[in-house]
């Protein structure tokens, strides 16, 4: 299938982890062709944002979330990068969308693809999310549940607020007084929901976090838990969330105790997964 993808401009080949690929392609527009054992696949990246995942091993085909999860759980993969112009990108997109996944969407023991039991444990909350955090482009879902990704949703218009309500952001946004919640990291607003678009705060929030954490270099503080800004009419709360950070904007009516309880639950869950707090 790699032969069938548009040629584009070859950038190079290397071996790397999936996390490295996604963090180092923030300005990339093209395809990351992957080889894992006898299988091959592709990650389409639309100006830094992963827009499609596909993997094939023999007759077994994975697409979208399943392919993303499989690729992300590899330690090292062989990749080659091809930069695309808009025309090549559209052709690649059409080609991937024309490939149907093999039903059912699950791993096969025969081909050696990992079963879900072998997949690294993730937070129950993250597992509950139908879309891996990084796969969603700057998806400002808003109250109406808009989304600008396609392959994860079989219905038009993306997930509605009821689905999102099952996710962590949905838990927090439902609290009285919470106006908006965002997951951000490495200068990118990964996923957000609410009445206020928090994308413009991401860069500032990252700078503030770094500076606040510098306090640890001056006095013995232990690991960073959260930063809360009190502004007229509300608060902004920033806290680590796995490899990313959460930003929560509230009105002044919010019960800070509720927010801090959610934050404690998040951090407790991260500790249980063996993730070191930042």
The contact set with another protein (CB under 8 A) reads: 200-201, 204-205, 207-208, 211-212, 214-233, 236, 249, 277
Q: How far is the CB of 256 from another protein (least distance, A)?
A: 8
Nearer to another protein (CB atom), residue 126 or residue 225: 225
Q: How far is the CB of 141 from another protein (least distance, A)?
A: 20
Q: How far apart are CA 141 and CA 130, in angstroms?
A: 14
Is it true that the peptide bond before 104 is cis, omega within 30 degrees of 0? yes
Residue 39: other Cβ atoms inside 10 A: 20
Residues with Cβ < 8 Å from 277, sequence gap 6 or more? 223, 224, 225, 240, 267, 270, 271
Question: What Å distances lie between residue 52 and 55, 72, 198, 249, CA to CA?
Answer: 10, 13, 25, 31
**Residue among 87, 93, 78 at smallest CA distance from 8:** 87
Nearer to another protein (CB atom), residue 37 or residue 233: 233
Q: How far is the CB of 215 from another protein (least distance, A)?
A: 5
Residue 131: other Cβ atoms inside 10 A: 21
Question: What Å distances lie between residue 150 and 80, 146, 160, CA to CA?
Answer: 25, 11, 14
Q: How far is the CB of 193 from another protein (least distance, A)?
A: 17
Q: How far apart are CA 247 and CA 171, in angstroms?
A: 14
Nearer to another protein (CB atom), residue 98 or residue 210: 210
Q: How far is the CB of 241 from another protein (least distance, A)?
A: 15
Nearer to another protein (CB atom), residue 129 or residue 201: 201
Q: How far is the CB of 248 from another protein (least distance, A)?
A: 13
Q: How far is the CB of 268 from another protein (least distance, A)?
A: 13
Nearer to another protein (CB atom), residue 26 or residue 215: 215
Residue 236: other Cβ atoms inside 10 A: 20
Tell me the three state secondary structure of residue 178: strand
Tokens describing residue 98: 């024309």
Q: How far is the CB of 183 from another protein (least distance, A)?
A: 17
Is the four-CA dihedral 211, 216, 217, 218 of positive or negative sign? positive
Element (H, E) at 16: strand 9-16
Nearer to another protein (CB atom), residue 49 or residue 226: 226
Nearer to another protein (CB atom), residue 14 or residue 231: 231
Nearer to another protein (CB atom), residue 10 or residue 233: 233
């Amino acid at each position: 299938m790699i032969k069938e993808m548009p040629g584009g401009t070859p950038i190079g080949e290397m071996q790397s982890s999936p996390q490295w690929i996604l963090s180092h392609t923030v300005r990339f527009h093209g395809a990351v062709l992957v080889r894992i054992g006898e299988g091959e696949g592709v990650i389409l990246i639309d100006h830094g944002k992963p827009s499609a995942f596909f993997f094939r091993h023999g007759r077994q085909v994975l697409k979208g979330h399943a392919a993303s999860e499989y690729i992300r759980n590899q330690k090292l993969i062989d990749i080659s990068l091809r930069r695309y112009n808009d025309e090549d990108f559209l052709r690649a997109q059409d080609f991937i969308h024309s490939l149907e996944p093999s039903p059912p969407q699950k791993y096969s023991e025969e081909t050696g693809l990992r079963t879900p039991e072998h997949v690294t444990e993730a937070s129950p909350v993250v597992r509950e999310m139908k879309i891996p955090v990084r796969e969603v482009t700057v998806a400002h879902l808003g109250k109406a549940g808009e989304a600008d990704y396609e392959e994860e949703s079989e219905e038009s218009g993306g997930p509605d607020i009821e689905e999102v309500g099952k996710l962590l952001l949905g838990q927090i946004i439902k609290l009285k007084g919470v106006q908006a919640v965002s997951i951000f990291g490495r200068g990118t607003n990964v996923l957000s929901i609410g009445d206020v678009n928090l994308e413009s705060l991401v860069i500032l929030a990252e700078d503030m976090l770094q500076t606040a954490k510098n306090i640890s270099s001056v006095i013995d503080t232990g690991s960073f838990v959260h930063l809360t800004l009190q502004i007229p009419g509300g608060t902004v709360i920033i806290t680590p969330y796995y490899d990313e950070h959460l930003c929560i904007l509230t009105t002044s009516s919010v019960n800070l105790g509720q927010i801090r309880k959610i934050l404690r639950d998040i951090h407790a869950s991260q500790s249980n997964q063996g993730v070191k707090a930042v």
